[in-house]
Structure 1
């Protein structure tokens, strides 16, 4: 009986995987649209990095996800719909010497201290790709799960950040710097769900409104 009640409750909502950066930069518009259609209280969000969220999607813990990747996702069991892609950038304190330049090659950062995300975030995959290409041994002085926490550390000069350029610092003590490297990895954002998942009418309605919000 308890299991039936749990299953019934789940069918009356949609479990949505929402990595923090995607939540901060894309979800407000989605939330407004869902609220206008009386659907916002019908979703339950799962807020972890994209790699962790993809694993949860594959094992059925969530029904739908908005994911970040550095390449279009290719998994036979997962249907994806790309809705945006943005290059990665460097974020520094306004007091940092790099704040005076508008663009930089990743190889020029070999002597910098970095503050980065913890495991489970696609940013690390892009960062490690550039590290390998440039034969660097970066000094990572701190890792965090939160964008806000990283921004505070960057502003205080603890280290420089490596983040998707979709992020706007929204503060005047942090400068975003363009990377000049060729074949720069991009932060690709996609709607994703299991091909085997059968959406209830309510879940399908939510998916339709999410698509409308992102197009």
Structure 2
């Protein structure tokens, strides 16, 4: 059943005449009559009573008229909704965001996106980077923010920022007076790491192993502030992104900004190469590209 034929039917009803409707529609009357007859054959009903001087709707015709109006109205609503999605007026966007990333600079990015596209509902899923990647593979979220590198066979990405991890120790620790610490000096220390599922867990472990030792892990957490508090009471040492260090306000913790070798913490927005990208997701990617360009132009 053709939407256009529904509109033809409505025009015939509106003018109570095949000839007048045909003039309005700019088609011949025989063509219009054939279209209506085909509709009746398809539905196996009679839509018009043609035996009187003026054509009249049958009972089935009255029912079909309501259907035609409703169907065309829904089609119009569908087109408006699709256009709204293309114009980013409405829609939903799910973003996987590890907690340690969310508390740094990312709220400002989210606020800017909301200002530009207030009709887009942004749903945040706070999980570690490895879990975010799995959610993307399973098409359970649209986009994610993780620590590079990622498997480029499965993901496209836009680099966001390049950062380093810094060491934090208790202020009474023997290393507290140093400004630079070699990772090999941490061989006998107790580490407080992010939980498995967080990329930073792997990043720290791998860096230590490259220096010839397996780190002794005393505690694991998903919260950077809890990790810093545990360091503050002497339960161990930790390596945290420099973007959160400014939020640590305690005299019991000393930040040692540089380790040798340095452990990189390079962030990127990533998405699956193998799944459909919604209009809001494409809008977010374009927004991030422009944000990155602006940040680099200001350097």
Normalised-by-shorter TM-score class: 0.7 to 0.9
Per the alignment, residue 207 of structure 2 pairs with 130
Q: Which has the higher contact order (CA 8 A, sep 6+)?
A: 1
Which residue number corresponds to residue 198 of structure 1? 276
User: Which residue among 115, 126, 143 is the counterpart of 1:64?
Assistant: 143
**1:17 matched residue in structure 2:** 96
Report the 3-state secondary structure (helix = DSSP H, G, I; strand = E; otherwise coil) of the residue aligned with 2:205: helix
Give the secondary structure class of the aligned counterpart of 1:167: helix
Q: 3-state DSSP class of the match of 1:36?
A: helix
Report deviation, 1:38.
4.0
More strand by share: 1
Which structure has the greater CA radius of gyration? 2
Where 1:13 maps in the other structure, the secondary structure is strand
> In 2, distance between residues paired with 1:57 and 1:73?
12
Q: CA deviation at 1:111?
A: 2.2
Other-structure match for 2:46: none
Gaps of 5+ in 1: 1-7
Q: Is the 8 A contact 2:180 2:260 kept in 1?
A: no
1:151 corresponds to: 228
Higher helix share: 2
How many pairs does the alignment contain? Answer: 203
RMSD: 2.2
- Picking from 111, 115, 118, the partner of 1:36 is 115
Change (3 A) 1:206 1:131: closer
TM-score, normalisation: structure 1: 0.84
Looking at structure 1, the residues matched to 275 and 94 of structure 2 have their Cα atoms a distance apart, in angstroms, of 12
SS of aligned partner of 1:193: strand
Q: 1:39 to 1:19 in 2, by over 3 A?
A: farther
- TM-score computed with the length of structure 2 as normaliser: 0.62
Does 2:198 match 1:121?
A: yes
What's 1:5 paired with? none
